[in-house]
Amino acid sequence: MNEPHAEHTNSNPTDDFSEVHLPPRHRGLAGRPMEKIRDEDYPYRGFWGCEAVCHLRVYWPVSGDIDPGNPVVVVATELERNEGTSITNMAEHLAQEVREVYGLGPASLIWIEHYHERELGRYSSLPEDFSHVTFSLDAQGHYCSPRWRYLSRTDAEGLAGEPL
């Protein structure tokens, strides 16, 4: 069984205490070490040229070997103050832009969409949610036709390799 929070490394049961070591924080997909290389607001142009902004976190495999089995993980968070096109409506465009900025192949990117809990008026709200967004490729090799699959917070954090 995987123990995500701590490992007991002291194998001597006669000691008065057991030393607890936290595993490296940035272990993502399949336990591979990840480095967060971006954690900041990211302005983009939405539909009809409107200004929009999201928060972008980019996790890069420490090994530097990027391929479908060792992808870059991106967490795009919708910001309450964003008055432009949402990350959901711009998913394929934003993911393609990030892919081009970092020179990534189409299968070397995991795109996670994140929404904080949000109010829907005076009496209701939507819970926080995470989605893994996958894409098809058009004739030019650009992302298109996004598909969303719900992720638990635990699964999203497992991909990123740290608490989100």
- Rounded Cα distance between 72 and 148, Å, is 18
Residues 51-97: pLDDT tens digits? 999 999 999 988 888 888 889 999 999 999 999 999 999 999 999 99
Are the CB atoms for 111 and 88 separated by under 8 Å?
no
Report how many domains make up the chain.
1
Domain range enclosing 74:
26-160
Q: Please give the pLDDT value at position 15.
A: 34
Are the CB atoms for 72 and 61 separated by under 8 Å?
yes
- Rounded Cα distance between 21 and 18, Å, is 10
Flag whether 19 is in a domain.
no
Q: Please give the pLDDT value at position 161.
A: 87
Higher pLDDT, 142 or 68: 142
Flag whether 21 is in a domain.
no
Flag whether 18 is in a domain.
no
Flag whether 7 is in a domain.
no
Q: Please give the pLDDT value at position 133.
A: 97
